[in-house]
Amino acid sequence: MRAEEDLLAARHAVREATVRAGFGLVDQTRIVTAASELARNAYVHGGGGNLTLEIVQKGGRRGLKLVVSDQGPGIPDIEQAFTDGFTTGAGLGHGLGGARRLMDEFHVWSSPGRGTTVTAVRWNGRG
């Protein structure tokens, strides 16, 4: 994700993956919204980044795993970054915390000067 149009392509790829994973419309929207926030963060704050998608299985359930990574400046205080209203840019400050609330599993690894990687999974209860 190096340009604005890459963000749109990422949204479309995530939407297609949610359909393949068997998610209903509401969960499709949740996952696409979370992915969009994470991709935009990597683009705006990380200077660009990568998105990988993987359909995963666990206990008879199917899910979609998103991994968004960048080589940007990193997040100095991850807990503060999850606080609604906290922003280092011009946004509303709901992106990272909002994305976490939309997914079932959410992990952030970040190191100042080395970048950030977010791994998030949403599970489909429909099997």
The residue among 116 and 82 whose pLDDT is bigger is 116
Q: Is pLDDT at 84 greater than 90 in this prediction?
A: no
- What is the pLDDT of the chain when averaged over all its residues? 88
pLDDT at position 94 over 90:
no
Mean pLDDT, residues 18-22:
97
**Six token digits for residue 66:** 């998103």
In three-state form (DSSP H/G/I as H, E/B as E, the rest C), the secondary structure along 90-117 is: CCCCCHHHHHHHHCCEEEEEEECCCEEE
Return the minimum-mean-pLDDT range out of 71-75, 77-81, 96-100, 111-115.
Answer: 77-81
pLDDT tens string 39-77: 999 999 899 999 999 999 998 899 999 999 999 999 887
